[in-house]
Structure 1
Amino acid sequence: MSQIIRRIGTPPNARGSVSGTNCPDIFELSDGRFAVIGTDVTAEFDAQLPADASRADYERIVVVTRETLIHAKGDIPDA
């Protein structure tokens, strides 16, 4: 079973979250995958996916803020 090994980017409270909780976040997993906490927008965007994109029934489309991804950019490995 994979485990969270580190946060990618800065914690929510460092990005201005008042409570530091319930905010978008990105984590690197021990198997090399990434876990994302974001807003589930599957119902809104599923029909808008390009013709060459699809998702499995167990997958969801999630949104994270631009700020979350920009703060994570420096921590994302090149390979």
Structure 2
Amino acid sequence: MVHPSGPCPSGLRRVQRRGISAVSDSSPVTVWVFLGDGARWPSGVFQTRERAESWIKVGELTGMLTEYPLDADVSTTGR
């Protein structure tokens, strides 16, 4: 998440790399991916579970919602 100059929100720290200022906490960054029933490819990718579940409910969809970490090999996650 890019953060404008100024104090960081509570619990976060500012990271400066190659001229890019970002705010980071110690928890891994994840996304929520929805794969509709019978679909080959994801139908939606969301920053929060709440947004994903709302979108699924509004669309009256069925399928699988999975949380994935960014910048990680998911084939070894959880082993």
TM-score under structure 1 normalisation? 0.26
Higher relative contact order (CA 8 A, sep 6+): 1
- Compare the two structures and name the one with the higher strand fraction: 2
- Compare the two structures and name the one with the higher helix fraction: 1
TM-score under structure 2 normalisation? 0.26
